[in-house]
Amino acid sequence: MHAFSINPDATVAGLNLPASEAQSAIQEYLGSDAVDQGVYHPRAVLHLHGNGRNLGLPQNLAAWALASAWRGMPLYPLAGPIVVTGRTESGDLTTLDDDLVQHAKAVAQTVRDTLTEWRARPPASNEAAVNELLAYAARDVASRRQ
């Protein structure tokens, strides 16, 4: 089963998970038996380290921006690497649809570009930064809808 990871540095990497052992492969990849699942899009599942924030794993802005754009509102912070899989109507894990992969890649690239730009021109406030990233992510997701 094809999935991908979104890393705290806003890079995206493809993963091939064994269909029959996908959950254990995700646990191994994230380094935790405690894996939380977030459904922010009806056809996708974000798999998060269950204790990532408590352990001080780095914030994952790209995954946060993507999940927020899919949900249509700002969400709580996400931390550490995150695995994204597809989701069937019955809730089973499956390969992620190509349009959703493109959403993730576009949002991650936008986050990398925005963070680079902020080094030269920092946002006026945290609220301005959040609003800017959310607007860009929403644009990326809307422009790639099928």
Q: What is the pLDDT of residue 144?
A: 64
Query: Does pLDDT of 64 surpass 90?
Result: yes
pLDDT at 31 over 50: yes
**Predicted TM-score of the model (pTM):** 0.92
For the record, the structure tokens of 51 come out as 């204790």
Is residue 146 over pLDDT 60? no
What are the C-alpha distances in Å from 39 to residues 42, 44, 64, 120?
7, 6, 12, 35
Task: Report the 10 Å Cβ neighbour count for 105.
Answer: 17
pLDDT tens readout for residues 115-137: 999 999 999 999 999 999 999 99
Q: 82 - beta bridge partners?
A: 6, 48
Question: 53: pLDDT confidence band, cut at 50, 70 and 90?
Answer: confident
